[in-house]
Structure 1
Amino acid sequence: MIASLDELYHSELFFLPVMDENARLVGLEIIATFAAEDGAVRMPTELVAPRLSVEEQYCLFVEKLALLETCQHFFIQHKLIAWLNLPPAISDLLLLDSELFSRAARFPFLELAINENYPGLNQGKNNETLANLAMHFPLMLANFGAGEASTKSIFDGHFKRVMW
C-alpha cells in the first residue's frame, strides 16, 4: 500500500513473535511499518495511522490478510495464532462487507487485536459493533493496562485473550 503524507511511503509487513512464559512460540502478530520511497525514513504504523483515510486503512488490512493467506499452512502446521490489529474504521466495514468478512473468517487461527483506546470499549456489551465482532471473530485486547480502559468488556466476555 502507498500512503501519501509529505512524501510517498509504502507499507512493509513483518511478523512479531509472541512467546509464552516458557519461551515457546505461541503466535505471530502482523505489524506494519511505513518506509519512504527512497528508503531513508521509516515510521511505525502508530505515527502514520491517524493520517490514513478509511480507504488506506482498508487496503492495509487487506494487505495483511493477503500475507496471512500465503502463510496459512505455516500457522496451521505449527498450531500458531495470528494477530491482526483491527482499527475502529475497519470494524464496521468488516461486519458490513461480506467479501472482507469471509476473507477474514476463513482463517481459524486468526484473532483480531483491539487496542485499549478502541472507541466505546468501556461500554462492554452495550457497544454493538464490539459485541457483533466478538460473536463472529476471536478478539484479543491489546495494550491492556495502558490506563485507558476499564475491565467491563473483559468481564462481558468479548475477549478470548488479553495481552499487556
Structure 2
Amino acid sequence: MKIFLENLYHSDCYFLPIRDNQQVLVGVELITHFSSEDGTVRIPTSRVIAQLTEEQHWQLFSEQLELLKSCQHFFIQHKLFAWLNLTPQVATLLLERDNYAGELLKYPFIELLINENYPHLNEGKDNRGLLSLSQVYPLVLGNLGAGNSTMKAVFDGLFTRVMLDKSFIQQQITHRSFEPFIRAI
C-alpha cells in the first residue's frame, strides 16, 4: 500500500513471533511499518494510521489478509495463530458488510487484535460493536496493562486470549497482588 502524506510512503509487513511462558511459539502478530520509497525515512505507524481514510484502512487490512492467506498452510500445519490488528474503521466494515465478514471467517487461524486504546473498550459488553465482533470473531486484547483501561471487557468474556504488556509485567511481577491478578484473568 502506498500513502502520500508529506512524502510517499509504502507499507511493509513483518511477522512478530509470540511465545507462551514456556517459550513455545504460539503464533505471530502481523505488524506494519511505513517507510519512504527510497527507504531512508520511516514514519511511526500510529501517525499514518491516524490519517488514513476508511477505504485506506480497509485496503491495508486487505493487504495484510492476503499475506496471511498466502501462508495459511503453514499456520494450519503448525497449529499457529496469526494476530491481525483491528482498527475501529475496519471493525465497522466487518460488522456492516457480510462479504467482508465471510472472507475473514474462512481462515480460523486468524484472530483480531485490539489494544487498550480501542474506543470505548471500558464499556465491555455494553459496547454493542465490540460485543458483536466478539460473537463473530476471535478477539485478542494485545497489551493489557499498557494503558488506563479497566478489566470490564476482559471479565465480560469478550476476548479469546489476553496478552500482557511487557512493561506491565516487569513493574507488577514483584507485587503480591500480581499472582491473584493473573489467575483471575
Q: Which interval holds the TM-score relative to the shorter structure?
A: over 0.9
Partner of 1:132: 132
**Pairwise CA distance, 1:118:** 0.7
Output the CA distance in 1 between the equivalents of 2:129 and 2:112. 13
**Unaligned segments of structure 2, at least 5 residues:** 165-185
Q: Kindly report structure 1 stretches of 4+ aligned residues shifted beyond 2 Å.
A: none
1:59 corresponds to which letter in structure 2?
A: Q
TM-score, normalised to structure 1, is 0.96
- Work out whether residues 32 and 44 of structure 1, in 8 Å CA contact, stay in contact via their aligned partners in 2: no
Q: Identity percentage over the alignment? A: 51
Partner of 1:41: 41
Superposition TM-score, scaled by structure 2 size? 0.86
Amino acid across the alignment from 1:58? W
Q: Which has the higher relative contact order, 1 or 2, with Cα contacts under 8 A spaced 6 or more apart?
A: 1
Contact 2:117 / 2:147 at 8 angstroms: preserved in 1?
Answer: no
Distance 1:116 1:41, change over 3 A: same
Number of aligned residues: 164
Cα separation, 1, equivalents of 2:37 and 2:108: 35
1:115 maps to what in 2?
115
Deviation (angstroms), 1:161? 0.6
Instruction: Map 1:1-164 onto structure 2 (within 5 A).
Output: 1-164=1-164
The CA RMSD measured in Å over matched residues stands at: 1.0
Give the structure 1 partner of residue 173 of structure 2. none
Distance 1:2 1:69, change over 3 A: same
Structure 1 letter corresponding to 2:154: I
